[in-house]
Amino acid sequence: MNSEKTSANAALSAVLAFGLWGVLPVYWKQLGHLGSDVALAQRVVWTLATVMPLLMLRGEWSGFLRSLRNARLLGAHAWSAFLLAINWGVFVWAAQHGRIIDCSLGYFINPLLNVLIGSRLLGERLTGLQKLSIFSAACGVLTQLVLVGRFPWIGLLLAGSFALYGLARRRSPLGSLPGLAMETVVGVPVALVYLIWAQQSSLPIWGTASAHDLLLIIGLGIITTIPLLGFAHGARQLPFALLGVLQFLAPTGQFLVGALLYHEPVGTGTLLSFGLIWLGVLQFCGDLWLRKPGKA
């Protein structure tokens, strides 16, 4: 019974994480007048303000302080912080400039790109279905380039930066929360310097300074940390196959938000492109299902 309850809680945590990531563009739209550069800097600062108390509550504070004295670890997380900043920056800019569907493209491709990186950099062997899924996604990207006439730089940059970020975090001994804390510690000096410069340049770093804007800005740390912790809990407890399927909730949510809530254009070429990528996703999920324990 306890095992079933643990699995149910883990599944709920994962659904919460991916569900929140799916509707996150709505949050960024509310801060559109802040500008993506200021919003990103504020996100770094308030994420640090959120994770520090959590480290203390979870009894990980002393271990985190010891890790800060490790120059090699700091260097590794400076690299992962750079990749995360690219990912966050592109996502925020795209969400605020009517390109939410392009974001969903990137996060549909991301798991397939992870598989490709695993085969090229980690020596993992690709199955036939995995190769087919990557080929289908590549055809989807090419279709967007040819039929839509637009290079999908947002989707590819989001997928590439997050895949490389995942690779960097995989090589770190730090857990999810201490790792995020170290990345924000590395990034917060840059964020603070930028915010000071922005304020001196008369940019509205607090938006309209209304209670609505201030709450949204302070909440940036919460909306960053909660889904991350939910994902980490689900990843530790759930079968990889189930987690692999659940992760597509996020780009599905983003696609629906962009198309239905903000009425971003979805032409025939875009649908065909996404259709090929969704085919790759189905092949990827099929491969995960076939490799579940107990399957032939």
Q: pLDDT digits over 69-101, tens only?
A: 999 999 999 999 999 999 999 999 999 999 999
Q: What angle (nearest 5°) sits at the alpha carbon of residue 245, between those of residues 241 and 250?
A: 145
Q: pLDDT digits over 202-226, tens only?
A: 999 999 999 999 999 999 999 999 9
Structure token pair of residue 209? 């300074």
Burial (0-12, 13-18, 19+ Cβ within 10 Å), 36: buried
Confidence of residue 292 (pLDDT cuts 50, 70, 90): low
Helices (H), 31-70: 36-57, 61-67
Q: pLDDT digits over 222-281, tens only?
A: 999 998 888 877 776 777 667 777 888 999 999 999 999 999 999 888 899 999 999 988
Q: pLDDT digits over 106-123, tens only?
A: 999 888 888 888 888 878
Instruction: Report residue 3: phi and psi, to 5°.
Output: -65, -40
Residue 13 has pLDDT above 50, yes or no: yes
Give the relative orientation of helices 211-218 and 220-237 as an angle to the nearest 10 degrees. Answer: 30
At 2 the pLDDT is 58
Cβ partners under 8 Å of residue 272, min gap 6: 143, 147
Domain boundary assignment for the chain = 1-290
Q: pLDDT digits over 146-196, tens only?
A: 877 788 999 999 999 988 988 888 888 888 889 899 999 999 999 999 999
What gap in Å lies between CA 33 and CA 217, rounded to an integer?
12
Cβ partners under 8 Å of residue 238, min gap 6: 7, 10, 11, 14, 246
For residue 291, what is the enclosing H or E element?
none
